[in-house]
Amino acid sequence: MTHRVARHGFWRALAQLAGLGGAVGTASAALIAWVASGRPLGATTQEQSQPLPGDDLFGSDVTRTTNAITIHAPAGAIWPWLVQMGQVRGSFYTYTWVENLLGAKITNLDSIDPALQNLEVGDRIWLTPRRIP
């Protein structure tokens, strides 16, 4: 009797895991399709139509999408947070568990680190730990 119950629990857990995997797969596919659709996120009509730096780097046959967010603060207050972004830096300011699920091995900072305020042209901002071949 115990053996049958244990086996039943195994198959139920397996079915639940498969259902969860299917739900995650479906949600992922929907998100990818939405992002690939080219629909703007948060951008005004004016922001969607104006040329932006870097537009000239791609041909005219490339689909372009402008996403935006409004931050009610002066640029001088935002820049220190942006300049310290990256792996082994300040993070990407999302959920730590999401960043680490993607292999980033990140700890998010919740303050400005003066040691991370130097970023030069050509410096790389890594998403995940650098792998040396």
14, two tokens: 């397996």
Q: Kindly report the average pLDDT of the chain as a whole number.
A: 78
Q: How much is the pLDDT for 7?
A: 59
Say which range, 23-27, 41-45, 116-120, 123-127, has the weakest mean pLDDT: 23-27
- Whether 37 shows a pLDDT value over 80: the answer reads no
pTM (2 d.p.): 0.53
User: Quick check: 80 pLDDT over 90?
Assistant: yes
- Tokens 């650098």 locate to 130
- Residue 45's pLDDT is 85
Per-residue pLDDT, 92: 80
Domain boundaries, the chain: 1-37, 40-70, 74-133
Could you tell me the pLDDT band of residue 74, with boundaries at 50, 70 and 90?
A: very high
Q: How far is CA 133 from CA 71, 127, 129, 130, in A?
A: 40, 17, 13, 10
- Note the pLDDT of residue 19: 74
| Residue 76, pLDDT score | 92
The residue to which tokens 């399709």 are assigned: 33
